Amino acid sequence: MRYQLAPMFHRPYLLNDLSQKLIESHYENNYGGALRRLNAITQELASCDFKQAPGYVVNELKREELIAMNSTLLHELYFASLGLAVKMSATFADVLARDFGSVERWRDEFIAMGNALAGGSGWVLLVYLPRDHRLINQYASEHAHGIAGGIPILALDMYEHAYHIDFGANAKAYVDAFMRNINWTAVEARYEDALKVEPPRPLVQPEFGDVPGVTVEEVKAMLDGNEPLQLIDVRPQHYVSRMKDMIEGAIWRDPERVREWAGELSKSEPVVVFCMYGFDMGCKTAIALRDAGFDAKYMKGGHWSWRSFGGPVKQHV
């Protein structure tokens, strides 16, 4: 078998208001069932001739593999989320306050999401996003809707099989019981592990050395704050004459003639230059201006990042 069963992570008979019978049934029939399905599908995939198999066969096998895989992983996280009700540390309370406003607000959202799934099915997950260095609550419907790159650290199972034996249709009472049985020591340990995961690599432009850049968000904040800023659009002339949109607050200058127009700029105020996508012309012009003594940076992502971020543009003639 490719995938191995994980043992029960806690003693079911020590939980409060969640019966041993419920947990054992859940572990055997739903977690164990998912793992057994996953191994069976894996075997089928191993013997599948992908050059000959019809698309619907491949679709079904890979879809079922995804569902069984995530069901397996999320059930393991679910059982690992429960245990002796260990209180949340003050340090982790600060983390939740940072990302949700307060512990109460995190808890209110998490519980509301669980209650909203009553009568339906799916998971409520607390997930760490390395890309943004923050936690978020998310749904995972049908086991298969994880946030790409997110690391779940707490899982609430809202499939009916998770509570029907003890609570019937009273999903709200189950959610309350789950919240009372969270093992925060284990959750916080997973958070510590998640923090060690590197975020996706940023855009690297080694050919331009370490020319400093600013984000579109930072440029927008400077404009909104009426901070001194000389914002120069250095997209190629043929591109600007074809595309009639211009970032509000920017002026266009021909990147081929930077020596001619550099004298118009002030050396006492910062300069930000940008081209279509942020590198190439933007970086080259920023380097030329820095060599001439200006406090120049390039805008990361350029014109298209500005547009994609929703920054205001105007039409020029």
8-state DSSP, 199 = P
Contacting Fe ion (CB under 5 A), which of 15, 30, 35, 233?
A: 30
Distance in Å from the first CA to the final CA of the chain: 67
Class of residue 131 by CB neighbours under 10 A (exposed 0-12, middle 13-18, buried 19+): exposed
Q: Output 30 or 137, the one with its CB closest to Fe ion.
A: 30
Within a 13 Å sphere around the CA of 1, how many CA atoms are in the beta-carbon half? 9
CB of 96 to Fe ion, least distance (A): 25
In three-state secondary structure terms, 9 is coil
Q: Which is nearer to Fe ion, 77 or 247 (CB)?
A: 77
Nearest approach, Cβ of residue 21 and Fe ion (Å)? 15
Q: Residue 120 or residue 199: which is nearer to Fe ion going by CB?
A: 120
Judged by CB, which is closer to Fe ion: 129, or 155?
A: 155
Which range binds Fe ion by CB under 5 A, 7-15, 25-33, 113-121, 273-281? 25-33
Cα 200–Cα 206–Cα 207 angle in degrees, nearest 5:
145
Quick one: which segment of 81-89, 149-157, 170-178, 195-203 binds Fe ion (CB under 5 A)?
A: 149-157
Smallest distance, Å, CB 173 to Fe ion?
A: 17
Q: Cβ 35 to Fe ion, closest distance in Å? A: 12
* HSE-CB for 63 with a 13 A CA cutoff: 7
Q: Which is nearer to Fe ion, 29 or 102 (CB)?
A: 29
The minimum distance between CB 102 and Fe ion, in angstroms, equals 30
* Residues 6+ positions from 316 with CB-CB distance below 8 Å: 244, 245, 246, 252
Grouping H, G, I as helix, E, B as strand and the rest as coil, residue 273 is strand
| Span from 57-65, 162-170, 191-199, 225-233 in contact with Fe ion (CB under 5 A) | 162-170
Contact range with Fe ion by CB under 5 A, out of 24-32, 185-193, 198-206, 270-278: 24-32
Question: With CB under 5 A as the contact rule, which of the stretches 157-165, 229-237, 242-250, 305-313 interacts with Fe ion?
Answer: 157-165
Tokens of 72: 């397996």
Cβ 87 to Fe ion shortest distance, Å = 26
Query: Is residue 188 within 8 Å of residue 92, measured between CB atoms?
Result: yes
Which ranges of the chain does DSSP label H, i.e. alpha helix? 20-25, 32-46, 55-81, 90-100, 103-116, 164-167, 171-180, 184-195, 216-224, 237-242, 258-261, 281-291, 302-309
Question: Which of residues 140 and 153 has its CB atom nearest to Fe ion in the complex?
Answer: 140
User: Between residues 30 and 183, which has the closer beta carbon with respect to Fe ion?
Assistant: 30
One-letter amino acid for residue 237 of the chain: Q
Q: Which residues pair with 232 in a beta bridge?
A: 251, 273
- Find the shortest distance in angstroms from Cβ 140 to Fe ion: 12
Return the residue of 76, 99, 157, 233 that touches Fe ion, per CB under 5 A.
157
Stretch that binds Fe ion, among 29-37, 108-116, 210-218, 273-281 (CB under 5 A): 29-37
Q: How far is the CB of 147 from Fe ion (least distance, A)?
A: 20
Residues in touch with Fe ion (CB under 5 A):
30, 157, 159, 162
